[in-house]
A and B are shown apart, each in its own frame.
Chain A
């Protein structure tokens, strides 16, 4: 009997992390595309860091930031009772940070691609900023937002380095699919490795295929 826990955990972590990426990332993408503010360049560089920084370095930063010895980690644990390090929640945080730029980048480009006059036309017809975002900007940037979500999700399912640093490799607790594959290869369990690799390949392939079909040519 093969243990399907890594597959289940990977899906859980990826879905939750992508959910955060989309909600927080949409706000960031909108801010970067439509507003001018002090520190915009810095924020942009910060959000994009995970694209260039080694995942282990990113994981190390998160470990230091969220660990028991940091003020933030202590606050979360003592006041809110949340432990992030070496739990599946830690894996979510690591995966979220690593996949956020893959959502923000296409989403920002898509929002920038929406004609500002369309937004102005909506304002002139009496709509507030939230209505404009909901009825004009997001529907017209839809394809970029969906593409970004998929990219973020794909990155999330394959996350390895940062997750390993923050959440560790605890079978049945924090062992995700990519970590399980690494483990299986290390142990010489080729059959298990082949199966897990097969699952993840089929999954990634079908996601991209259906998304391409879904987002093809509207308007």
Chain B
């Protein structure tokens, strides 16, 4: 099912104005707390009435402020998984899952509920009440209840935020598996960056009630359109500079803190002119540390910088290295996998050489950057 919408709602101190279209896949709505992500789900499902706009599922409009269409919640066939799961506390797991299909014949209900119990690894728990379940089990029971009603659209509001890390990882895998089996158009709200990357085929970046960017995962992560998107997605190396040369698809940017940086540009995406002020950056994990014992690979021969490691920070599977460019002011954040960190024998104070691959350097022209605030 395709979903397209544009919705507006005004409150005293907050307003929301967001629209996009998506097909049968998983779109992650990512943004800081209070950005309006959950409100958007409430507007889509009809729990909160929008001031203006439309919602179209496939070819059918379920809301349109101009023609006065406002289909009641019960007829929208939208599945909604609440952050706190909203399981009915006075019903067993079986009764909860069967709730949306209890108009069907008894044997059909039983078959369907049993299939979902099996799929959600809830076998043997069907006679328990929600308060007798663990967080992860509650979450799976709530998802089973939603899927039983065969929704056309699935809305998930931070479904894993209340769970521990290990449970969360397992449930993410479950959800992706289920999504493959029941490919329902899904909107997944989260403020967790890792989750955004793992779950999202498409990513919508939402900030302050507005859509900053919507697109395929790689596009949004590696070609952020606004400074905010870059910031939210964990790009820490953000600088401003001036275009000093444009030859073919390569732009040279002059910045006093780093020096000259070459960037690969797609003229159809970013319009640049000589002397123009721009914002540019590179994701910490895209910076390469060059091995001194090997000749420099052709791919990384642009933007070679010498400098010193100011400090290092180990965290889980990688190390964060803060690098100061020699004779300049810029400090770059570099993310290095642990094996590379050990192999290169990196430590505080070590003098190293790094490369900013020119295809990894992203550019936002100031005109776009101005549009954000």
Contact = CB atoms under 8 A, between A and B. Distances in A.
Interface of A: 115, 117-118, 120-128, 135-136, 139-140, 218-219
Contact of A128 (B74, B146, B149): B74
B131 interface: yes
B73 A120 contact: yes
Given A124-B76, A140-B89, 15 more contacts: A117-B84, A118-B86, A120-B82, A121-B86, A123-B74, A124-B78, A125-B145, A125-B149, A126-B74, A126-B75, A126-B77, A126-B149, A128-B74, A140-B90, A219-B89
Nearest to B99: A125
B7 to A, nearest CB: 17
B222 interface: no
Contacts of B47: 120
Residue among B77, B80, B131 with most chain A CB within 10 A: B80
B197 interface: no
A24 B129 CA distance: 32
B19 interface: no
Interface of B: 45, 47, 72-80, 82, 84, 86, 88-90, 99-100, 129, 131, 145-146, 149
Contacts, number: 54
Contacts of A122: 88, 99
B99 A115 contact: no
B90 A124 contact: no
A188 B80 CA distance: 70
29 contacts: A117-B82, A117-B86, A118-B88, A120-B47, A120-B80, A120-B82, A121-B80, A121-B86, A122-B88, A123-B74, A124-B74, A124-B76, A124-B78, A124-B79, A124-B80, A125-B74, A125-B100, A125-B149, A126-B74, A126-B75, A126-B100, A126-B149, A127-B74, A127-B100, A128-B74, A136-B88, A140-B90, A218-B90, A219-B129
Contacts of B82: 117, 120-121
Nearest to A128: B74
Nearest to A139: B90
Contacts of A218: 90
Contacts of B78: 124
A128 B73 CA distance: 9
Contacts of B72: 123
Interface of A, helix, strand, loop or mixed by DSSP: helix
Contacts of B84: 117
A198 B47 CA distance: 55
Residue among B78, B89, B131, B146 with most chain A CB within 10 A: B89
Nearest to A115: B86
Nearest to A117: B86
B99 to A, nearest CB: 6
A124 B73 contact: yes
A117 B73 CA distance: 13
Q: Pick the 7 closest A-B CB pairs, nearest first.
A: A125-B100, A123-B73, A121-B86, A117-B86, A219-B89, A124-B80, A126-B74
Contacts of B73: 120, 123-124
A152 to B, nearest CB: 24
B49 to A, nearest CB: 13
B186 to A, nearest CB: 15
Nearest to B77: A126
Residue among B73, B100, B145 with most chain A CB within 10 A: B73
Nearest to B131: A219
A135 B77 CA distance: 20
A120 B76 CA distance: 13
Residue among A123, A124, A126 with most chain B CB within 10 A: A124
B23 to A, nearest CB: 22
A118 B77 CA distance: 17
A31 B199 CA distance: 42
A121 B129 CA distance: 17
Contacts of B131: 219
A170 to B, nearest CB: 47
Nearest to A125: B100
A140 B47 CA distance: 21
